[in-house]
Structure 1
Amino acid sequence: MALRPEPFGALAYDFTTRRLSFLKSLELVEVVRSLEHHPDVHAALEAAAVPTERHRPLLTALAALSDAGTIEPRGSVAA
């Protein structure tokens, strides 16, 4: 996946599926970029200093990216 910064957040392009996704907040972009550096999504939200009331919408957006195959749960990447 590649992220291209945009004023609204970023465009995420998945080279495998050729799917383009719009990340519509800078918070979401920061969390997506940091996922690989944290043990789980909740730690990434905390590290990005996302307010608790914003967790639910970001978790929903992350779930949509996961459902689309743009991001994958840790350990599910084929070797």
Structure 2
Amino acid sequence: MACAASTEPIRPRVLDQALELHPLVALRPEPFGALAYHYGNRRLVFLRHPDIVGVARDLGEHPSLSATLAAHHIAPSRWPSFARAFESLKSSEIVRER
């Protein structure tokens, strides 16, 4: 953990988590990315970029979110925004921990 005076950014925990697309979620491709519909809680979520869609589809094939991002050649400078997006997708139950 970084101390209060540290200049090192804190790595979001979600990057190290083993995630998967929830089995009750269907993704429908759209020009902007995809619609994610959860048949259990009836939530509809917009995935607004094709990179997020690709990563979401492949989460279960990699040991962590960061490994999935690396496999998709997502620049590390973009990882914080992906971490925020996948935290939100976890809270919506679109993705879950394995």
TM over 0.5: yes
Query: How far is 1:50 from its partner?
Result: 0.4
Q: Structure 2: which 5+ residue stretches go unaligned?
A: 1-24
Query: How far is 1:69 from its partner?
Result: 1.3
2: CA distance, partners of 1:4 / 1:13: 8
Aligned to 1:57: 81
Which runs of structure 2 are paired with 1:1-79 in the superposition (5 Å)? 1-74=25-98
2: CA distance, partners of 1:34 / 1:7: 19
Residues 5-54 of structure 1: CA distance to partner in whole angstroms, max 9, x if unpaired?
11110000011111000001111001000001001101000001101111
Q: Which amino acid aligns with 1:6?
A: E
Higher relative contact order (CA 8 A, sep 6+): 2
Secondary structure of the equivalent of 2:96? coil
The structure where helix makes up a greater share of residues is 1
When the two structures are aligned, how many residues end up with a matched partner?
Answer: 74
Q: Structure 1: which 5+ residue stretches go unaligned?
A: 75-79
TM-score (norm 1): 0.90
Secondary structure of the equivalent of 1:72? strand
Q: Which amino acid aligns with 1:55?
A: W
TM-score (norm 2): 0.73
